[in-house]
Chain A
Amino acid sequence: MHDDSVPPLSSDGRFAGLRRRGFLAATGAASLGALSLAGCGGSGDGGDPKAGGTPQRGGRLRAAFAGGGASETLDPHRANLFADAARAKALFDKLADHGPDLAARPRLAERWEPNRTLDRWQVTLREATFHDGRPVTAEDVLHSYRRIADPREAFRAKASLEPVDLNASRATGRRSVEFVLKRPTAEFPNVLAAFGAYIVPAHAGDFDANPVGSGPFRFVSFAPGRSAVFRRYDGYWDGAPYLDELEFVVANEESARVNALLGGQVEYAHELNPTTARAHEGSGQIDIVRLRNSAMQAFCMKTDRPPFDDVRVRRAFFLIADREELVDAALAGAGETGNDLFGKGYEYYADGLPQRAQDLEQARFLLKRAGAEDLRVTLDTSAVAAGFTEAASVFRDQARQAGVTVDVRMGSKDSYWSDILDGGILCCYRSGAMPIEAHISQRLLTDSTTNATHWRHRDFDALYRQAQSTPDREDRAALYRRMQRRLYAEGGFLVWGFADWIIGTARSVRGVEADAPANTLDWARFDKVWLA
């Protein structure tokens, strides 16, 4: 299975990029990444003269992100925001990372091999060095994971590393680690690719004063909430970056990021609004790159509370949603419709299920059968994410047509995610990219830590466990399809869309990969970017 020693972007990943290209050329987005890979440039240019060319060395790229203000840190294990993740990715590496289909791809790990019962994994590291010249060893890996799992700390990746028994895991050589797991985990490579699971040197010092990693860029300077300057690391195992220097600057207001890009103060602006993108797409001033399938947009029903403890009410709500209208109104058209399942386009996604569409008559019928005529529910929303309040008011109007009164309640954006975890019955929800397996284990098992739909079914848990102890990929895919069919029929997530993540770049920037949902390997990956 995952004993492949393929380079990080295996051939099928490259072809996925090529397939996407025709589409992108049509929408006017220009900078494309797959071509930046040595050995695959030139072909399949898609007729867009700006896309190709031979990568050039040199130059300084400034990238604007929304940031965490004066509290920012370069400690990769504390990464929380996109800006943190982008900086961490420039300085550090993970053992694996997610490809565009969210399958794990080897990075610092050269290959991995499980035992027959999938509860012991032998991971071999590739030859790589930290910026201070010391090799990356098994000890560094174990140190990093033990630091993340430290019970006195609250690192984000701790929950992802939960399956690993770090006391029993050990180094079996300078570049090989044996991970002992608490239970069979067929998708263990996902753990290696988890958000924040970076490898730091065992003797790491102060991360903010002089962070030393094995990533493509080495540290130059850092002013929290303002700027971080990095320089090319010539000894990078995946090939030295083309850029001489990379600077991350923080601009929290979207208009400021756009203005800075238009005014030539930055060359890359992360997270733009759909309306901005539309205004500048094809204007010739800047290039717009849309990262498809980056953020699931959903309404979340508490499946253990009235009225949603009745599956007929949940089904009625599935049929109330006019997904096209939601995408058009709440995402300004920058996205695609959902089918009540997480992970469209990702590995194991059940794309054979029929697309749901609005059916108010059937919805009314189901509500009547459930004795829920003249239903009144409160929908929690907040300005915490783009499109939330819009989605809530659009859905309120759609529900009215089915005779359901929806009261929209605005919550505080600073505590929203915590408030909706156990509070209320219906809320707006979104999720960044993660493997479907991770979505299930974090949100849909009885003991999941962020189970916002309160989906707790022993038989469903059993299916998940069965999948995790199934070595064969096809058999596992069948199990994931079964789980998803169940969620499609009676789950608590009304997934109405998938939002694009929108990036603006200066016209001189090349090699920005578009087939890279936010948080995957090729998202915000500056070692393959160059300036023409």
Chain B
Amino acid sequence: MSGLRSFVARRLLLGAAQIVAVVLLVFALTEALPGDAAVALAGDQPDPARVEAIRTAMELDRPAWERLADWAAGLLHGDLGTSLTSGRPVAGYLADGFGPTLLLAALTVVLLVPAGVGLGVLAARYEGRLVDRLISSVTLAVYAVPEFALGVLLVTVFALRLGWLPPTAVGHGADLLAHPGVLVLPVLVLLARPVCSLVRLVRAGMIDALASPYVAHALRCGVPGARVRRLHALPHALAPAVQQLARTVDWLLCGVVVVETLFVVPGLGTVLLGAVGERDVPVVQGLAVVFGVVTVVLNLGADVVAHRLAPRAGVVA
């Protein structure tokens, strides 16, 4: 177990370095975008004197490295800074956006895991038969539909034609849970593609494992087939799926811009989109930190779980 501990420690250090690199890169890229927060705020009234006044008020006239250093110093005290545009704390932006994002992500994952694993195992169990072919072709077809198109399709059919569900979550920003109806369509759209990739991974892993010598050996020893599948084959099949799942959760948490925009869910993706448009550097950086931490932690967690599921796979190398 000490091997695992030092592995985790090394990965956390590496992760911290990665987050720093991401934040630096994001800062550099945002600075490199044409125009700054003052220009973006001035909009169609780019009176040069006004832009200059905004720039001074925002302290954008100070050198970039100085602003970055100030922000980093604040970060060490847990202060993410304040928005250039509104003057409100960045932490508030993140907290407001995180609720809806987390809710959508959690619901999606809760449905994704049983659906993906169940269908994958089922397909593998009946490999080559009708059930398998049905599952495989449907998942391939759904996977090929872009989120935006699927969203528009679902809204048109279920919200506008049939009137079963509300078309958007407009106005319900803070209390989405109080109106669960508005969550159905966004979650369906979010589920569609991850379910398909998960099913295909689990199916392939199961088929691989079922054809392996150790499964054959277990069967020869008289272990019942269902037990072999559940205890011997499935964990092996799940190892790659866990990493795929981590990537999916990462994607869900780091802003699903298309779904948020389509259904008017004010999550982190919306905050990011707005902040980049406004050149609101502190907010963009705050998001970069959050997204960096989420990515590092999730991938680390996935590696550890995969290691536990299939120690010989060598993921710890």
Q: Is A240 an interface residue (CB 8 A)?
A: no
Cross-chain contact A418 with B51 (CB below 8 angstroms): yes
Q: Is A263 an interface residue (CB 8 A)?
A: yes
| Partner of A417 from B42, B53, B93, B278 at Cβ < 8 Å | B42
Q: Which chain A residue has the least Cβ–Cβ distance from B92?
A: A70
Cross-chain contact A412 with B170 (CB below 8 angstroms): no
A249 neighbours in B (Cβ, 8 Å)? 170-171, 264
Closest Cβ of chain B: how far from A86's Cβ, in Å? 15
Given contacts A80-B43, A266-B170, contact A69 B274 (CB under 8 A): yes
| Partner of A415 from B34, B166, B264, B280 at Cβ < 8 Å | B34
Cross-chain contact B46 with A256 (CB below 8 angstroms): no
Q: Which of A480-502 contact B (CB under 8 A)?
A: none
A253 neighbours in B (Cβ, 8 Å)? 261-262, 264
Q: Is B155 an interface residue (CB 8 A)?
A: yes
Given contacts A415-B40, A417-B42, contact A153 B53 (CB under 8 A): yes
Closest Cβ of chain B: how far from A357's Cβ, in Å? 29
CA distance A351 to B266 in the complex (A): 47
CA distance A226 to B83 in the complex (A): 18
Interface residue total, chain B, C-beta cutoff 8 A: 53
Given contacts A414-B33, A419-B34, contact A265 B167 (CB under 8 A): yes
Q: Which chain B residue has the least Cβ–Cβ distance from A155?
A: B50
Q: Which chain A residue has the least Cβ–Cβ distance from B96?
A: A70
Closest Cβ of chain B: how far from A125's Cβ, in Å? 28
Cross-chain contact B34 with A412 (CB below 8 angstroms): yes
Cross-chain contact B264 with A260 (CB below 8 angstroms): yes
Chain B 271-284 per-residue mask, 1 if CB under 8 angstroms from chain A, else 0: 10111011110010
B57 neighbours in A (Cβ, 8 Å)? 152-154
Chain B 151-169 per-residue mask, 1 if CB under 8 angstroms from chain A, else 0: 0100100011001001110
Q: Is A375 an interface residue (CB 8 A)?
A: no
B85 neighbours in A (Cβ, 8 Å)? 71
Closest Cβ of chain B: how far from A161's Cβ, in Å? 13
Closest Cβ of chain A: how far from B270's Cβ, in Å? 7
Q: Is B47 an interface residue (CB 8 A)?
A: yes
B54 neighbours in A (Cβ, 8 Å)? 154
Q: Is B2 an interface residue (CB 8 A)?
A: no
Closest Cβ of chain A: how far from B269's Cβ, in Å? 11
Closest Cβ of chain B: how far from A501's Cβ, in Å? 15
Q: Is A389 an interface residue (CB 8 A)?
A: no
Q: Which chain A residue has the least Cβ–Cβ distance from B263?
A: A256
Chain B 26-37 per-residue mask, 1 if CB under 8 angstroms from chain A, else 0: 000000011100
| Partner of A265 from B43, B49, B152, B170 at Cβ < 8 Å | B170
Q: Which chain A residue has the least Cβ–Cβ distance from B148?
A: A255
Cross-chain contact B34 with A262 (CB below 8 angstroms): no
Of the listed residues A262, A263, A412, the one surrounded by the most CB atoms of chain B closer than 10 A to its CB is: A263
B277 neighbours in A (Cβ, 8 Å)? 414
CA distance A151 to B155 in the complex (A): 49
Q: Is B297 an interface residue (CB 8 A)?
A: no
| Partner of A226 from B44, B86, B173 at Cβ < 8 Å | B173
Cross-chain contact B271 with A69 (CB below 8 angstroms): yes
| Partner of A225 from B43, B51, B266, B280 at Cβ < 8 Å | B266
CA distance A249 to B34 in the complex (A): 30
Cross-chain contact A260 with B168 (CB below 8 angstroms): yes
Chain A 246-290 per-residue mask, 1 if CB under 8 angstroms from chain B, else 0: 010111110110011011011000000000000000000000000
Q: Which chain B residue has the least Cβ–Cβ distance from A81?
A: B43
Q: Which chain A residue has the least Cβ–Cβ distance from B173?
A: A226
Given contacts A226-B174, A412-B34, contact A159 B274 (CB under 8 A): no
| Partner of A412 from B33, B88, B263 at Cβ < 8 Å | B33
Q: Is A6 an interface residue (CB 8 A)?
A: no
Q: What are the 9 tightest A-B residue pairs by CB atom distance, in nearest-first order? A: A415-B35, A69-B274, A226-B173, A449-B47, A263-B167, A418-B46, A259-B167, A249-B171, A71-B85
* 20 A-B pairs whose Cβ atoms sit less than 8 Å apart in the complex: A70-B88, A70-B93, A70-B96, A71-B274, A80-B43, A153-B57, A154-B42, A225-B270, A227-B173, A249-B264, A252-B261, A252-B270, A260-B264, A263-B167, A265-B166, A265-B170, A414-B39, A414-B278, A417-B43, A421-B48
5 further A-B contacts with Cβ under 8 Å, apart from A156-B50, A414-B279, are A70-B275, A80-B43, A223-B173, A256-B170, A415-B35
